[in-house]
A and B are shown apart, each in its own frame.
With several copies, the nearest count.
Chain A
Amino acid sequence: MSEAEGDSFEAPVRAERTDADADALHVDIRGFEGPLDLLLALARSQKVDLTRISVSDLAEQYLAFIEEARRIRLELAADYLVMAAWLAYLKSRLLVPKPENDDEPTGEELAAELAFRLKRLEAMRKAAEDLTARPQLGRAVMARGAPEPIGVKRQTRWQATIYDLLSAYASQRQREMVTVVRMRRRVVWSLTDARQALERMVGRIVDWTPIDQLLLRYLSDPSERTTVLASTFSASLELVREGRLELRQTGAFAPIYVRTKSGDDGQE
């Protein structure tokens, strides 16, 4: 629903029921801001204190207004129709005595609520008027026309706590520690490691076997491949020297084969 935004403060021309044409409703809802506004205008036309309006009469007037609007095929926003339905319901509740065990509010309660809402809306309208009637700054009273600005000397206060300092230091030294630890974890196969691995196998390698196949279980990580191979090869040379292994390579860069030295009883 549009609010006729951009209207000036002057209230738009609105439908009024004057005494002269009391029965001839002038139907024009363009000036109204919703059904409550229309109801308030109708209530005012009862020319009595809002606390003493007859809600029943008001509902009647509203319904007549809507009926008239429909008759002349005026388009009505849904809000107006919802209010009409509600008022019709209210009227029926007012007529029928409250049945027992009925949780619904009574007609009187509904009427009281409507009256309350109308009073409240009227009160807020009056409040808006009272507000705008106050001696406003820039109209009724003036502030200093040439305020002398306060010069601001900006000063930065740097903030840091001892915790900030220590955690900054610690976390960066921690990085150093982590780096070192990672290097330790990056497996550098020592000769001892390689020899132990080979020794576990010596005696079981009957046929010539490519050395990298032997080490398969140690070569799962490609980054370790070089170090494992290098260390193993060195260790195997040692074992060959000790007469416990035989090595064979057919050419440069060809696979290296290894087997337990035949005829060796495994004793040193």
Chain B
Amino acid sequence: MSEDEPRLFGGNVTNLSSKEWRDHLRMVEAILFASSEPLSEATLAERLPRAADVSGLLRDLRQAYAGRGVNLVEVAGGWAFRTAEDLAFLLTREAVEPRKLSRAALETLAIIAYHQPVTRAEIEEIRGVSTSKGTIDVLLETGWIRLRGRRRTPGRPVTYGTTPTFLDQFNLQAIDDLPGLDELKGAGLLEGTPPPGFRVPVPSDGDELSDDEDPLGEDDDE
């Protein structure tokens, strides 16, 4: 590449001189640009040459795109290109009609997010009202929540949790990125009643079931 051509990436990017590094950067850029969904480092690693330093490449790429119209962001446990937040006003044409969720549905979503894994009975206890089946259905339809397993208690109720799509939608890197999570935890508000301290829940959207969850049966499609 001659000196006259534009330099690929910004000034303080490491290893700019290395052709291999540049090649790898191009590859990461191409793969991430092509996907509309976040890709994990592991997924990227699978598709890059074995020698590629994925973390380092991502760091460089993020820096190269910082301040640009499109940014490389860490979201939902992976990496994705997203338009810069300050340019949202330009993109109203691309904006999707926000899903109209009832207040009940949004509240239920928040409870599932912060208290997961959580059963319907627990949601109802928190809201102080019974949950119509439609609320959970609507949330399942958004793809933001999922059935996780079954609580190992009488009746073996289904437990709910959030999905990676939820993280992507709300621009969260991971579930412990939820706004105000630490304060809520500190205030003991994520603990069951009564007695407080009976369980110390930290929301977990991981696939591993918790100690008191069983896997869903084959026939669970509630």
A36 and B128: CB pair below 8 A? yes
Choose one: B130, B169, B189; the contact of A167 (CB below 8 Å). B189
Any chain B CB within 8 A of the CB of A134?
A: yes
Choose one: A7, A8, A124; the contact of B111 (CB below 8 Å). A124
Choose one: A119, A151, A170, A178; the contact of B92 (CB below 8 Å). A151
**Residues of chain B whose beta carbon lies under 8 Å from any beta carbon of chain A:** 30, 33-37, 73, 80-85, 88, 91-104, 106-107, 109-111, 113-114, 126-132, 134-135, 138, 141-142, 144, 168-172, 178-180, 184, 187-196, 198, 200
Of B34, B103, B171, B178, most A-chain CB atoms within 10 Å: B103
Q: Among the listed stretches A22-30, A158-166, A249-257, which one makes contact with chain B, having 4 or more residues with CB under 8 Å of it?
A: A158-166
When chains A and B are docked, how far (Å) is the Cα of A6 from the Cα of B190? 28
Given contacts A121-B127, A134-B179, contact A146 B170 (CB under 8 A): no
**Residues of chain A whose beta carbon lies under 8 Å from any beta carbon of chain B:** 1-12, 33-37, 39, 79, 105, 109, 113, 116-117, 119-121, 123-128, 130-132, 134-162, 164-178, 180-181, 184
Given contacts A4-B104, A9-B101, A153-B94, contact A168 B110 (CB under 8 A): yes
B132 and A155: CB pair below 8 A? no
When chains A and B are docked, how far (Å) is the Cα of A34 from the Cα of B129? 5
When chains A and B are docked, how far (Å) is the Cα of A154 from the Cα of B98? 11
Given contacts A8-B102, A134-B179, contact A174 B190 (CB under 8 A): yes
> Which residue of A is nearest B138, CB measured?
A158
A-B contact pairs, 10 of them (CB 8 A): A2-B132, A9-B106, A34-B130, A125-B107, A128-B110, A138-B169, A139-B95, A152-B95, A160-B106, A166-B187
> Which residue of B is nearest A143, CB measured?
B36
B127 and A126: CB pair below 8 A? no
B194 and A158: CB pair below 8 A? no
B135 and A5: CB pair below 8 A? yes
A6 and B195: CB pair below 8 A? no
Interfacial chain A residues near B94, Cβ < 8 Å: 142, 145, 152-153, 155
Interfacial chain A residues near B127, Cβ < 8 Å: 33-34, 36-37, 121, 124, 172
Q: How far is the CB of B128 from chain A (nearest CB, A)?
A: 3
Interfacial chain B residues near A37, Cβ < 8 Å: 127-129
When chains A and B are docked, how far (Å) is the Cα of A222 from the Cα of B94? 64
Interfacial chain B residues near A167, Cβ < 8 Å: 189
B101 and A181: CB pair below 8 A? no
